[in-house]
Chain A
Amino acid sequence: MTDSQAPTTPDPTLGVDADSLYVEGDAIADTKAPDGPIDAKWQQRIFSARLVNPANRRKLSVIVIGTGLAGASAAATLGESGMHVKSFCYQDSPRRAHSIAAQGGINAAKNYRNDGDSVYRLFYDTVKGGDYRSREDNVYRLAQTSTQIIDQCVAQGVPFAREYGGLLDNRSFGGVQVSRTFYARGQTGQQLLLGAYQALERQIAAGTVTMYTRHEMQELVIVDGRARGVIVRNMVTGELETHFADAVVLASGGYGNVFYLSTNAMGSNVTAAWRAHRKGALMANPCYTQIHPTCIPVAGDYQSKLTLMSESLRNDGRIWVPKRIEDCEKDPRDIAEEDRDYYLERIYPSFGNLVPRDIASRAAKYVCDEGRGVGPKVGDFRRGVYLDFSDALSRMTQAQIAAKYGNLFDMYERITGESPYQVPMRIYPAVHYVMGGLWVDYDLQSNIPGLYVTGEANFSDHGANRLGASALMQGLADGYFVLPNTIGDYLADGPFDALDESHPAAVEAKQAVQSRIDHLLSINGERTVDSIHKELGHIMWEYCGMERNEEGLRKAIGLIRELRTEFWTNVKVLGTNEELNQALERAGRVADFLELGELMCIDALHRRESCGGHFRSESQTEDGEALRHDDEYAYVAAWQFGGTDQPGDVGKPVLHKEDLTYKFIELKQRSYK
């Protein structure tokens, strides 16, 4: 790839020039999707992909990093096919992966409601919901695959909600007007993950999958241009282990914890993906972050994580704030109906409380910025809005409400000490999911041959905003149905040369990990890992959160660079490598977040338009909605690492553009009014 200087003419409407922060490289010409009618492409690809016969599959091996929906389903399915799989997770059991926390549901175009749903409509809703920044081909395949997922999960014994006739129940979710969401009370992710986990454990018992728990990937090993292995750290003994395979699958989840506070698990991190990025894998659209509108507000600076209240609550709860600032301190039950502003219903009459997540989040921010937020003050503002079930409670019995949302109401009460049956919930947006991730082609293969990326770790299906109940769908589509049908085409050339630990590429990778760990342990400064992580989170939330602008992003980049220097000169990590050392684990993750944060800001800065979850205040319609610039920005921004092997040296990233062409769906300004 050749690097060429990006155009240096600053955009006069947007002020300062940001182009010195990156260079522009070659465009990405081909995603390797087949030509032809959109509904035939996936079948065409399955047919054209080369096969590996059952006897030869036994000679092939695959490494899978992560055991969430995308990883466990892939490991189980590849194991069933006869390949040797090595599966890794940082938790003590594959069942703990953070897919388990997904609450609301999983979409599928079954049209069991007879309400006009179809594969095409799910495809259309997803592209529109993603604000026309996703790939048509991938999204169509996702919608096609959705129906198979439900069949597969039911066969595994996933206890979806059912109606009295014994058939599956559905509900509706934000951004759509049909009921296509399958659910298991408020624990759909848990039940789907346990299905995948049990399928994985079955393969472990069968000997096709070897499981490595409490092992964290530290480095990717590339041999002759192919991804051939990983360096992992045994988190109990500290031993650095080298593992080889014919292909590597990263299913390591999203990087929302770059914001410190998010709904992600404490251990969710970017390290596996970032290590691959540092070795050449392109990172696509890193600034596309989903801020979920319904989370429990922050209570204090000791807070370690934010808890989501499922979007499904918006089916029956009504969101409001007081019309007058002086009412904000009152008990909400004492505020008269005419003094309440049901602002989503007012601004978006046709979708009301079910507008997509990015719109609902920003609307909450604005009413709080106006001073009409509720709950305790955090800084100068009250950061909360009411989610009120009193209408639903007058329409349904408390038992009916409990059957739908009981566990969520209980969780809310445990955390806040208030019962949503008595008092309206208070909610506020929080970082929840990242649409950005490693770049992959139609086969889910990254630009490094043999490196595949599935689930939230890739960028491919959700564009600039993900619709509710679509993450579970994508994770399982990738793991059960897409990857197992595409990876064979690559592995048909295998098995590749056998490798051992003395291979120079493996030795070098292991030494790099060792010296990074030694460096972290030797600094012995004044700042804890968490204090630096919190500071990074503040910077990201303030300048690269719900609303971004040129000035703030440039400031953030400077602050992140200073903080990265602070980290590498003044962090305090006690203990040794040769033990269970949780501070060391966190230090390694935060080191990578400090590099990712800068790239997110550069990506957000260069995209001088608003789209989906990426809202640039300079680019909005008269009504304050996201204003896209399709003529300039209808592309995927895939970034190549521009730094060196030195920790913290990220250099200047190189931008490769993949143009998004819409052949089947007409680009429109999104409207949910």
Chain B
Amino acid sequence: MKITVRVWRQPNSQADGRMVSYEVDQVSEDMSFLEMLDVLNERLTHEGQDPIAFDSDCREGICGMCGVVINGEAHGPVQTTTCQLHMRSFKDGDEIDIEPWRAEGFPILKDLIVDRSAFDRIIQAGGYITAPTGAAPDAHAAPVPKNAADKAFDAATCIGCGACVAACPNGSAMLFTAAKITHLGLLPQGQPERDSRVLGMVAQHDEEGFGGCTNIGECAAVCPKEIPLETISRLNRDLLGALVRGDSN
């Protein structure tokens, strides 16, 4: 099939950007979306035009490196990562808009590439369990109810891609933050730091310029790993508890 893509081109973080149109021929429906861009980039290179810069690494939906807004939707029309989106989701003659994540917390570096280091700083503010190497008790010392372990796992599958932020009208990263709060908060190992974790991570979230959550739910609707919105309820409950308990922790 033959399609037209309109792509956000911006040479660097300081320069202005604009949408540029390209036609792409001989697109196979078995191609991934990023392979379609690869094919276009090969052509642009032959023509002496700067290829389109975009992030990707594992291309199997797990590293979280890829992610663009396709026709206004984060990761496009299917609830998956951009690398797992295939061209069979489009048809001959389609016009497709491709833009970077747009959020105050994610400055654009070039074309479709943004800086997501704010996510790392949110994790630094408490998204871990302090367990120095070598200090661990036997793995069976603390049984975890299967239900809690499964739910913790579901939250832990967050890949940190940032689609939740891109989709949120407030540019909030609450789903990302809440996924980690939920993962660690459901496990016995995560209890000692539960209060300091939520206080630290939420404070850092706000400091990075991400907006507040107003329960719109766009984040969960685009999340490729289907992190549920209820993780944010858990975050709010933990936050309230931590604030009430205050200095005792």
Q: Which of B39, B60, B61, B134 contacts A302 (CB 8 A)?
A: B39
Question: Are B51 and A480 in contact, with the CB atoms below 8 A?
Answer: no
4 smallest A-B Cβ distances: which pairs?
A: A166-B143, A198-B128, A155-B136, A155-B131
Q: B182-190, B208-216, B230-238, B240-248: which lies at the A interface?
A: B182-190
Question: Are B51 and A574 in contact, with the CB atoms below 8 A?
Answer: yes
Residues of chain A contacted by B152 (CB below 8 angstroms): 157, 159
Mask, A192-216, CB within 8 Å of B = 1, is 0010011101101100000101000
Question: Are A93 and B160 in contact, with the CB atoms below 8 A?
Answer: yes
Q: Which of A98, A112, A152 contacts B57 (CB 8 A)?
A: A98
| A156 nearest CB neighbor, chain B only | B131
Q: B26-34, B90-98, B167-175: which lies at the A interface?
A: B26-34
CA distance in complex: A213, B189 (Å): 29
Residues of chain B contacted by A236 (CB below 8 angstroms): 109
For residue B104, give the distance in angstroms from its CB to the closest CB of chain A.
Answer: 17
Q: Which of A97, A152, A159, A415 contacts B133 (CB 8 A)?
A: A152
Mask, B76-103, CB within 8 Å of A = 1, is 0010100010101000000000000000
| A152 nearest CB neighbor, chain B only | B136
For residue A110, give the distance in angstroms from its CB to the closest CB of chain B.
Answer: 7
Residues of chain B contacted by A197 (CB below 8 angstroms): 123
Asked if A530 lies at the interface with its beta carbon under 8 angstroms from chain B, I say yes
Asked if A80 lies at the interface with its beta carbon under 8 angstroms from chain B, I say yes
For residue B177, give the distance in angstroms from its CB to the closest CB of chain A.
Answer: 14
| B31 nearest CB neighbor, chain A only | A302
Q: Which of B32, B131, B139, B187 contacts A199 (CB 8 A)?
A: B131
CA distance in complex: A198, B187 (Å): 15
In this complex, how many residues of chain B approach chain A with their Cβ under 8 Å: the count is 77
Mask, A154-176, CB within 8 Å of B = 1, is 11110111111111100000000
Question: Are B62 and A167 in contact, with the CB atoms below 8 A?
Answer: no
Question: Are B131 and A162 in contact, with the CB atoms below 8 A?
Answer: no
| B200 nearest CB neighbor, chain A only | A205
Interface residues of A in 130-189 (CB under 8 A from B): 148, 150-157, 159-168, 184-185, 187
Q: Which of B109, B134, B160, B190 contacts A95 (CB 8 A)?
A: B160
Q: Besides the contacts A93-B116, A161-B149, what 16 more A-B pairs have beta carbons closer than 8 Å?
A: A76-B133, A80-B133, A97-B63, A98-B63, A152-B131, A162-B145, A162-B149, A162-B150, A184-B156, A267-B57, A305-B60, A414-B86, A415-B84, A572-B46, A579-B12, A582-B51
Asked if B23 lies at the interface with its beta carbon under 8 angstroms from chain A, I say no
- Total A-B pairs in contact (CB under 8 Å)? 216
Interface residues of A in 333-392 (CB under 8 A from B): none
CA distance in complex: A175, B59 (Å): 28
Q: Which of B34, B46, B130, B190 contacts A528 (CB 8 A)?
A: B46
Question: Are A414 and B80 in contact, with the CB atoms below 8 A?
Answer: yes
Residues of chain B contacted by A150 (CB below 8 angstroms): 139
What are some 6 contacts across the A-B interface (CB < 8 A)? A148-B134, A155-B131, A155-B137, A162-B145, A190-B159, A191-B156
Asked if A561 lies at the interface with its beta carbon under 8 angstroms from chain B, I say no
For residue B199, give the distance in angstroms from its CB to the closest CB of chain A.
Answer: 14
Q: Taking each of A185, A187, A198, A484, which has the highest tally of chain B beta carbons within 10 Å of its own beta carbon?
A: A198
Residues of chain B contacted by A325 (CB below 8 angstroms): none
| B47 nearest CB neighbor, chain A only | A574
Asked if A43 lies at the interface with its beta carbon under 8 angstroms from chain B, I say no
Asked if B4 lies at the interface with its beta carbon under 8 angstroms from chain A, I say no
Mask, A278-309, CB within 8 Å of B = 1, is 00000000000000000000011011110110
Question: Are A93 and B117 in contact, with the CB atoms below 8 A?
Answer: yes
CA distance in complex: A498, B220 (Å): 51
For residue B125, give the distance in angstroms from its CB to the closest CB of chain A.
Answer: 7
Asked if A91 lies at the interface with its beta carbon under 8 angstroms from chain B, I say yes
Q: Which of B32, B63, B88, B133 contacts A304 (CB 8 A)?
A: B32
Residues of chain B contacted by A223 (CB below 8 angstroms): none
Question: Are B84 and A168 in contact, with the CB atoms below 8 A?
Answer: no
Residues of chain A contacted by B157 (CB below 8 angstroms): 187, 190
